[in-house]
Amino acid sequence: MKKLLILLFTILLGTQQTFAQSSIKLESFRDKVLPQYNTYFNQAQLSENGQLNLTAVDKYILLPADSKKGIMLNITNAWRDSLVIVHYGSKSELWGWNMRTGARLLDEWDMALPPAALIPAAKAPEMILHPWFLYLGGQIMFDSQKNVNIAFNTRLGFFLLLNRWDLATSVSAGLSGNADAAGTPYSNIGVMTRVHFPIKKYGISPNIGGELTLASFGDTSPAFTPSLVLGLSWFVGFGRLDIGIKIGDITSGTGGYSMYPGLKSLK
């Protein structure tokens, strides 16, 4: 078990170092780049998937397309680690960069618009690009009795394809036991999908989907667990209220409120 503990710890340490490097680069971006554009953006953050998220203010929103592209050329050139997402109100823009075309608006979406009202953004010539994400993480827990729990997690998928569809696969593996004895391995493999139904008139976007998980623990046979996923996003005040419920062997719920600084109100 000790060899497996060392291997899992090494993987986790490498993941943490990657996140630390991203955090350091974010702080450098905030100090050196963001102040030059503080009349257009008032916040820069990293999403849990490692993408740079910028919160735009009214001056950026009112710019013509060419002026936005000029600003984003410098932003994306300074930040090449990932795609850049610009948020304002219920709208978002996905920007990318390459040596041939410079900054390019890859996609845009509005959670408050019905699907029929969507206007597709410029598409890449070879393929249609979507906002993919990759998440890596893990944890290590010890106690005074030498009980150990080590877990590694990864998640891959896309969000708001055609402004309606989310899909993600997840894998987690770990080891639970005592450092002086053989541990018990466990794993979970799952896939979750959701479809959104924006209702502009009321500023809400309900969603429905499902999740299927294959779980195993020790020598027990792997078991499939299906779940129904229900949710609702409500654009109210200066942000968005999100509520979600997962119904399966165990029923659980989540909730939160995302704020969009710099906006007077969401309609």
Task: Write the DSSP assignment of 155-223 as a string of letters.
Answer: EEEEEEETTTEEEEEEEEEEEEEETTS--EEEEEEEEEEEEE--BGGGTEEEEEEEEEEEEEETTSPPE
Tokens of residue 37, six digits: 């554009």
pLDDT at residue 76 above 60? yes
Q: Mean pLDDT score of the chain, rounded to an integer?
A: 78
Digit-coded pLDDT (tens) for 142-169: 777 778 888 888 989 887 777 788 889 9
- How do residues 10-42 score in pLDDT, each as one tens digit? 544 444 444 445 567 788 888 888 899 989 999
What integer pLDDT is reported at residue 258 of this predicted model?
A: 72
Provide the pLDDT confidence category of residue 267 given band limits of 50, 70 and 90: very low
Question: Integer distance in angstroms from the first to the last C-alpha of the chain?
Answer: 57
254 phi and psi angles, rounded to 5 deg: -135, 160
Q: Domain residues of the chain, as ranges?
A: 13-117, 132-259
67: tokens are 């002026």
**pLDDT at residue 101 is higher than 70:** no
Residue 182 has what pLDDT? 76
**Among 4-13, 184-193, 216-225, which stretch is predicted with the lowest mean pLDDT?**
4-13
SS3 31: helix
Radius of gyration of the chain (CA): 21
Confidence at 55, pLDDT banded by 50, 70, 90:
very high
Sorted by sequence, the CB contacts under 8 Å of residue 103 that are 6+ apart come out as: 69, 72, 73, 75, 76, 77, 95, 96, 97
Give the pLDDT of residue 20. Answer: 46
Q: What is the pTM of this model?
A: 0.45
